[in-house]
A and B are shown apart, each in its own frame.
Chain A
Amino acid sequence: MAKPGDALLFSVVRRDHRPWLLMLNAAVATTGGLLLPAALADAVDMALSGKFVLFTVVWLLLLAATEIVGDAIGIVLAASTTSRATAWLRRKLSGKLLDLGHPSPFAAGDAVSRVTGDCGNAGGIAVTLITLVVTAVSSAGAVVALALLDWRLAAVFVLSVPLAGLLIRTHMRMTADDVLTYQEVSGEVSARLLDSVSGLRTIASAGIADRETDRVLEPLPRLAAAGAGMWRTQAKMMWRAGLLLPAVEIAVLTAAGFGVMEGRLSTGDVLAALGYSALGMGIVGQMTQLTVLERTRASASRIVEVLDTEAPERPAPQRSNGVIELRGVSVGEALRDVDLMIPAGTFAAIVGSSGAGKSTLAAVLGGLSAVDAGEVTGHDSVGYAFERPALLGTTIGRSIGYGTDADEVQVRDAAVAAQVHDVLIRLPQGYETPVADAPLSGGEAQRIGLARAIIRDPDVLVLDDAMASLDTVTEAKVDKALTTALLGRTRVVVTHRAATAARADLVVWLENGRVRGTATHQELWTNADYRAVFTGGE
């Protein structure tokens, strides 16, 4: 049954010449491998005859060398085929996800697992297919070789495999309970560890690390019990699998023995029969590859799902003399039929209780996200800062200049304006500290986010609750610095603070995705509903 990802997998295999090389290499190595038991049989017969025949030994060495070198080349080829295909898929997928932009139809964690996990699975398609083909060919070849030695051997082999297979199939059902319990308890321990880790300062200052360790480890005995159960189940499976190969081997050996007795086979042929049986059984061990193939196809479908998603249309906002204007704008359930005009140079505050659509409005009026209906006109140079900025880029300095070609001086100036320079020079490696290694509080991250907006020197600055974690001292300083650094620019601020709304020239009051009012804070303050927004309507 065709899956949506199959076409993608096909193009993954076709885009590179390596799968063909791998196939060629596998063909040579498999041929060597198939001829090897026969050559070994000849060599043993030669040894038993007591006469050294150079050709026989050289032939054996040649075949063995072919197989060994072929294997070695195969390992590198397989890895480079897979990893290059994976990289290609990952680049394609991340590029697409970036194109889809914000808000993404795929949750972040889901998207990451598609990029890391699914692309890795799908990248292995060529190797999986070739492994399956090679195994099938070499198993079939082994049966043919057995038949060439003596048709009875092939018959015995072909008959005994399904019987032996049946023997192990009947009881192969894995008890899923233990696996499930194991995963659950393991998750519980992780969750407890995460709790304690977020309370590290409390734990350290109270000196209770040992006690808290015990608390985290409380579920361990259940984990160990489930784990032991998993091993017992596996023991049963191994037991049955361990019987399969000897059973088939002995059946074939017995048949070969009678062949020797009746003069159809030489002593060396017994070895060949043994070798071909093992080779023929190879397919049993590779049955799991079928599961791998299914997983690969499922992963490919998940990738295609992203690649086939169409990016929302996102016309660049038209310039309109510095006026931001929204006409009949709707975004899903968050914003409904919003008309709004913010004159150039205005300090506008967007207020409203949680879920009123403040962030969506902020995102729409700067062109950060697309609208479902209506029209937005505004500037093409908008700087955004957020309550919880994601700091991107390699170093802290770079995270401020992210997406621009700003130099060190500009980065520093922006950090000074955002009142965060003093923090950054105290980091272990200053501005060069990798983002992941920088111990930053929420307020510090917010100010870096502000610096990132300032450095773009935008016509419009949109602050989406971007100072919520700043203490009053810092907020006042940042506010002053913003006014100086970006004099006369339009500023739109999403806020929960009455003091901020009071300073604004214009307040946009949102309620349930609609504009409830646009006026100054003082004018709106007469309305009890408006006051409730600040005094805790939650």
Chain B
Amino acid sequence: MRFYLSTLAGHRRGVLVLLGWSLLEGIPAFFGGRFVGTAVDKGFAAGDPLAGVLWLLAFAALAVVGALGQRQVFARLGSVVEPMRDALVARVVNGVLNDPSHRRTPDASAVAMITRHVEVVRDATAGVLVQARALLVTTLAALIGVATTASALIWLVVLPIVAALVLFGLMLPSLAKRQRDAVMADEHTAEASGSVLTGLRDVAACDAAAEAYGDVAKQIDLQAEATITVAWANSLRATVIALGGFAPIALLVAFAPPLVASGQLTTGAVLAAVVYLTNSVNPALHGLARTTSTVVMRLMVALKRLQEAAPRTDRDMGTETPSNGEFVLRDVTFGWSPDAEPVVRGLSLDLRPGDHLAVVGPSGIGKSTMASLLTGLMAPDNGSVLFGGAPVDRVTPTVRHHAIALIPQETYLFTGTVRENLTLLAPWATDEDLVEAVKKVGAKPLLDRIGGLDAALGHGGEGLSAGEAQLLAVARVYVTSAGVVILDEATSHLDPAAEARVERAFAERNGILVVIAHRLSSALRANRVLVMDGGRPLLGTHEHLLKTSPLYGQLMLAWDPTHREETPLPKR
């Protein structure tokens, strides 16, 4: 919310111009009642139709001026709302991409949610600027109008309206909470029906139509209830506002007779006051009750959801400088939460340039966590991960990113040329460097097939198989000068021969190579193996582990290299 307001404040000029035009829009509201009153009082009632018609024409002219003001307001909305939307999108995208947790990566539906909420903020901001502003201008203009025509009754008019507005303001937070609950219920319904309907095959396979129906129906009913709860709140709010709008009229007619009789109020003044209230103030207040407050609440809810989607994280960046390119891990322990079983437990390990370590173990046991610890994306709960003598997550980010490169299993390819994708981590690389890297990792036939460095890639590497995408991601890191390279199942979609070629290419660079293995064949190529299987990790050479660790022996036996498949995985 604070961000939102400060962004709007950043476009103060635009907002001020908008308000300037609003003054024009307020003119008919300010003079309207008086002109109508005068038209009757001095014109028609006084037997002078020409004067009456002229006053009404003056009113018409004012209406045109007001409409002109409104037109300008709308035409200028773009210069306030669009930059605000730009800033919001920029902030959300930056927040998502900087999110340090990296555990629950937002999926397509989360991105769609973000897009939807940004649009809500855009529309709602425009709505607030149009309606709330119009409301303010009209009400104020009309109230001043009442004050100048029927000053004796001004307090009767102002007090109920102010009381209603204050009450309404006090109700807003609880209204917003209910609105938020309703939005959440909406999303839960979409989620529940979405997961069941995309998983119909699995529902059938589990013979679980009844349970699936139950889960969905529960969310559907909860949502209906949430909607009705919001309606109750809305109805209360509408009543408060309607009372605030009508009370002045009732008070006015009830208290006017003695004043009229004593000559303190003229016919025109009473008429004008009622016209101000019925034609300007009341419609404005109704607008507030019906739409503006809904819009404000949608705005608040959307901003809150966006904030959750893209938390602002001011990470305290480290400034330590590593003294060399060696890793020292001492007694490292890490778990997802204090209650959960640790993923890594009591791991000690030294890595020097030239080392080639393979990490093996069942998938999901925490091998990827090793990669996150080594790259400084996460800090251990206990123990230390030192790089060149400094805790790796405290090393100056630029130095760390330069020295340590991670290739995760999920490849990152974006829309752009192959060259842009390959130079992502090494913007300085020449075409020769790129082609050399591509050759080294065995991706030259692929590069030739897709049309060279200038070929364009679609979203998410569209048109490439998963293995081909991985080859490009590997080549991208090969171009860099990183001394530490971590392959986190980065070759899982390659066939064994291609995988071996990639690993050899990196091993020849004489830096530190850590391979988080998808296949046990990776262990045979490494000069040390780390076995992770849920308990305390085992470390040693392949031969040493075969001799000393029954577990490792079993793994190798289970894998049974005589049946080693040379089958590439099916292409996506």
Contacts and interface: CB of A to CB of B under 8 A. Distances in A.
A373 interface: no
B105 interface: yes
Contacts of A439: 103-104
Contacts of B68: 239
Contacts of A232: 74-75, 78
Contacts of B56: 250, 253-254, 257
Contacts of B558: 472-473, 476-477, 480
Contacts, number: 507
Given A111-B197, A220-B86, A427-B336, A246 B111 contact: no
A425 to B, nearest CB: 5
A500 to B, nearest CB: 9
Contacts of A72: 235-236, 238-239, 242
Contacts of B96: 193, 196-197
A63 to B, nearest CB: 10
B199 to A, nearest CB: 3
Interface in B409-433: 409-416, 424-425
A217 B85 CA distance: 12
Interface string A465-509: 000111111101100100000000000000011110010000000
Given A208-B425, A242-B71, A535-B566, A470 B220 contact: no
A235 B25 CA distance: 13
A384 interface: yes
B383 to A, nearest CB: 18
B111 A193 contact: yes
Interface size class of B (residues with CB under 8 A): 35 or more
A101 B200 CA distance: 6
A2 interface: no
Interface in A431-471: 435-437, 439-441, 443-444, 447, 449, 452-453, 456, 468-471
Contacts of A236: 71
Given A207-B397, A423-B365, A195 B47 contact: no
B270 A44 contact: yes
A291 interface: no
Interface stretch (A77-85, A318-326, A330-338, A339-347): A77-85
B570 A538 contact: yes
A48 B220 contact: no
Interface string A108-137: 110110011000000000000000000000
B36 to A, nearest CB: 7
A98 B250 contact: no
Interface string A197-219: 11111111111111011011100
A91 B220 contact: yes
Chain A, interface SS category = helix
A496 B567 contact: yes
B337 A428 contact: yes
Contact of B199 (A50, A57, A69, A390): A390
Interface in B290-326: none
Interface string A37-81: 000100110111111100001001100100111011101101110
Nearest to A495: B567
Contacts of B85: 223-224, 227
B201 A201 contact: no
A247 interface: yes
Contacts of A260: 40, 44-45
A98 B341 contact: no
B68 to A, nearest CB: 7
Contact of B364 (A51, A354, A422): A422
B97 A261 contact: no
Nearest to B531: A473
A203 B375 CA distance: 12
B519 interface: yes
A425 B341 contact: yes
A389 B213 contact: no
Nearest to B374: A205
Given A209-B97, A213-B93, A267-B40, A87 B220 contact: yes
A476 B559 contact: yes
B253 A44 contact: yes
A426 B209 contact: no
Interface in A167-190: 186, 189-190
Contacts of A71: 235, 238-239, 242
A216 B92 CA distance: 11
Contact of A75 (B72, B231, B278, B343): B231
A473 B375 CA distance: 26
Nearest to A79: B231
Given A47-B252, A232-B75, A428 B336 contact: yes
A422 B82 contact: no
A447 B64 CA distance: 71
A52 B254 contact: yes
B561 to A, nearest CB: 10
A86 to B, nearest CB: 7
Contacts of A404: 206, 208
B391 interface: no
Interface string A404-417: 10000000000000
Nearest to B283: A278
Given A108-B198, A242-B71, A257 B410 contact: no
Contacts of A535: 566-567
Interface stretch (B167-175, B222-230, B434-442): B222-230
Contacts of A393: 211, 215
Given A48-B260, A499-B563, A426 B336 contact: yes
A257 B74 contact: no
Contact of A73 (B78, B235, B518, B560): B235
Interface stretch (B186-194, B346-354, B445-453, B501-509): B186-194
A90 interface: yes
B398 interface: yes
A422 B195 CA distance: 25
B39 A203 contact: no
Contacts of A420: 364
Contacts of B66: 242, 246
Nearest to B457: A195
A258 interface: yes
B340 interface: yes
B208 A47 contact: no
B71 A112 contact: no
Given A68-B239, A271-B271, A426-B343, A60 B250 contact: yes
Contacts of A473: 360-362, 520, 555, 558-559
Nearest to A187: B115
Contact of B111 (A67, A108, A190, A453): A190
Contacts of A231: 74-78, 81-82, 126
Contacts of B550: none
Contact of B215 (A78, A394, A429): A394
A116 B213 contact: no
A366 B565 CA distance: 29
Nearest to A82: B227
A435 B413 CA distance: 28
Interface in B518-572: 518-520, 534, 555, 558-560, 563-571
Contacts of A256: 44
A210 B215 contact: no
B460 A194 contact: yes
Nearest to A232: B75
A35 interface: no
B412 A196 contact: yes
B159 interface: no
Interface in B112-153: 112, 114-115, 119, 122, 126
10 contacts: A68-B239, A87-B221, A191-B415, A206-B425, A224-B78, A236-B71, A250-B56, A392-B208, A403-B207, A476-B560
Kindly list the 6 A-B residue pairs having the minimum CB-CB distance in the complex, ordered from nearest. A199-B412, A403-B208, A390-B199, A79-B231, A228-B78, A50-B261
Given A83-B228, A101-B200, A536-B567, 9 more contacts: A91-B217, A250-B57, A267-B45, A366-B205, A384-B206, A426-B341, A444-B363, A472-B519, A477-B362
